[in-house]
Chains A and B, each alone.
Chain A
Amino acid sequence: MSSAGAAQRTRRERSYVLAGVLLLALGCAGRTPPVRTAQKASPPARLTWLPAESIGGRELAKAVNEHLRQVSLPGSATSVRAAVSMEVAQLAIECTEPTPSCYTAVGRSLGADEILWAELGAPGDSSHEVRVALLLYDVRGGAAPKRVERTFDSVEVARAGVSALVDRLKTRNGPR
């Protein structure tokens, strides 16, 4: 009686242990995946553009800001102009590095989901050439900003070519 009973008991205990392990594994593995419908139902991104400062000339800065004002990205609400430039914002929050971290800090300080700004400067010793770069940064994603850049021969050429640069940025950003 003892050997048969013990063997049966052993089998029963083993089955209990295996059932427990199976239940634990199922409990741990049965997590529901994130629902994508919540993402689709999220409100449109708040796009904030920061005005360019007149480093290369007031006319160029004014032209660039005009184009930035008209930028509208799919999936985003109407763009909002920030009160300060990117450099002032970075100085104020004491994060002046051109890194996604600092851009994220600026975007959060402005309450934006996406920030758009322009960087104007002279590429080299030439006093006539002007470099214009447009940058779009997703504050929520935290990835590197999308950047389109072009060097123009003069301020006048740059003023005329900013629109094409904005179109490139839209194209690079792609349909949403």
Chain B
Amino acid sequence: MNARNCPACQRELPGATLRALEQGTACPHCATRLKRTPRRAPAGASGDNDYAGFQVSHTPPVTAQPTNEESYGWFQTKGAAGAAARAAVTSPPPPARSLFPSVTAGSPLRSMPSVTGAPGPVRAEPVTTKPAQAPAAVNAAPVVTSATPPAVDKRPAAPEKRPVPLALPPPAPPVEPRRAPTLVGAGPPPGERPAPVPPTPAPPVHPPVVRSAQVEPPRAALAMTAVVPTAGATLALAAPPMAFSFRSRRNVAIAAGAAMTTLLVAIAVFHRSADRRAAISAPLATLHDTSRASAAIQPARPTEAEPSGAGARAELGAEAAAGSATAAPHAKVRTTHRATAHQRRYAKNGKRGKHARHEKRSARQTEITSRATPSSGNDGEARASYERGNALLFAGDAAGAVAAYRKAVDLAPADPIGYRGLGLAYEQQGGTAAAIRALRKYLKLAPGAADREIISRRIARLGHATSRP
């Protein structure tokens, strides 16, 4: 591969492209991204392995930047300046393990007949110091070991070997001053020069660089620098993430606002619907809307003459049993508090719908409370029997109610509610004396009952009725 040719399309690169290889450029023919990459020689290799070459941008990053001596010493040794430099070489001759296997230490360039007149030691003597007359300009020339055309074909192992770049001193001299002299004075084969490069009048003088394995450049930094894309591309790509962050925050704010708005709308709609429902189910509003009663409408319940039907009894019994299932000792306090709060709220709010709603809730809570109130006994079966007696009593079956209440008393003798039920059922049956006895027993067992006054009045009335002829 020729160093002045594109590794992708193998066409010759113009001089401007070659000069821009340091910063990275692209092939004008095939647009392949190119970058001059110094390659590192394997450990122990001499300076003749140091050469630089093209590297397509997708190749692994360069880890070191070559100095003049490392990369382009080969050119320097070819001309007169190279001869002087060769004379000044103090380093030992390169080892036989060269980049080019065919080149031996004694005649390293035997396979390169086109190389100018100093054949043998050119590549065998690595340049560690740089002569003043052939300064750093080599850096600008992307020279590979195959810089000379004949050598390209006769060095088959060069591209595949990929020697590792040597350890280099970290600071690299400025590029521009070194570029021109190398191109002019280094004397690469004239056929490979696509365009003449104007010479630099005063090439800088660099101190002699001693190649040392102990000097470790910041390879990580160099590597990172090498893989960074071109400046334009980097800047072009840097803007969107910043803009995205800003947009993301704004979108989050918009979403939060939308969620709040939606929540408020939902709450408002829910309240409106609830009020509408309550207004529709307000007391007697439904009756106003319904049509007038007609004679064809049959009663939903048995008439007065038959209040104790079996169906009605079963219905009432089921309702009573369902209500009693929720009875619990601690439910009384909680539900009473809730009912009171609802009533307070109702007193504050005069709206009809809310009134109806609160009254409904209050009724439910009070019902639960009422069913749980006097049940000092915790016998579930006794309570169930009492509820069954209530259902039978409401259905007009006083005898059945008496039996149910008596069972409740048998199950929980200390529970007064059974006696109260018995008194009410006996009264329905017409057994005034038994009713009075049962109610008195109730008052004896529950002297602090809330309905004590009512029961006492009832006992008095029953006694008065009994004494009356």
Contact = CB atoms under 8 A, between A and B. Distances in A.
Q: Do A and B come from one complex?
A: yes
Contact of A77 (B292, B300, B312, B424): B300
B367 A105 contact: yes
A133 interface: no
Given A109-B320, A110-B316, A173-B284, A100 B262 contact: no
A63 B391 CA distance: 28
A21 interface: yes
B374 interface: yes
A81 interface: yes
Interface string B281-295: 111111111111100
A96 interface: yes
Nearest to B244: A6
A176 B283 CA distance: 12
A78 B258 CA distance: 56
B451 A96 contact: yes
Interface in B365-389: 365-367, 369-371, 373-374
A11 B451 CA distance: 74
Interface centre among A6, A73, A100, A112, by most chain B C-beta atoms within 10 angstroms, is: A100
A141 B282 contact: yes
Interface stretch (B54-62, B129-137, B203-211, B265-273): B265-273
B301 A80 contact: yes
Contacts of A144: 283
B420 A91 contact: yes
Given A42-B290, A88-B424, A95-B370, A25 B320 contact: no
Interface string A66-108: 0001001111111111111001110111111001111011001
Majority SS at the chain B contact face = helix
A154 to B, nearest CB: 19
Contacts of A96: 450-451, 454
A123 interface: no
A66 to B, nearest CB: 11
A43 interface: yes
B345 interface: no
B186 to A, nearest CB: 43
Given A44-B290, A80-B307, A28 B280 contact: no
Contacts of B277: 34
B281 A83 contact: no
Nearest to A113: B300
B276 to A, nearest CB: 6
Interface stretch (B34-42, B218-226, B354-362): B354-362
Interface stretch (A12-20, A124-132, A163-171): A12-20
Contacts of B300: 43-44, 46, 77
B243 A95 contact: no
Given A21-B261, A95-B370, A96-B451, 12 more contacts: A2-B240, A10-B247, A34-B273, A39-B289, A75-B291, A77-B298, A80-B299, A81-B307, A84-B394, A108-B367, A146-B284, A176-B289
Interface of B: 236, 239-240, 243, 247, 251, 254-255, 258, 261-262, 265-266, 269, 273, 276-277, 280-293, 297-304, 307-308, 312, 315-316, 319-320, 323, 339, 355-356, 359-360, 362-363, 365-367, 369-371, 373-374, 390-391, 393-396, 417, 420-421, 424, 427-428, 450-451, 454-455, 458, 461
15 contacts: A21-B258, A29-B265, A31-B273, A33-B273, A36-B280, A55-B461, A77-B297, A81-B307, A83-B307, A83-B396, A88-B393, A93-B390, A141-B356, A142-B359, A176-B288
Interface of A: 2-3, 6, 10, 13-14, 17, 20-21, 24-25, 28-29, 31, 33-34, 36, 39-40, 42-46, 48, 55, 69, 72-84, 87-89, 91-96, 99-102, 104-105, 108-112, 138, 140-144, 146, 173-176
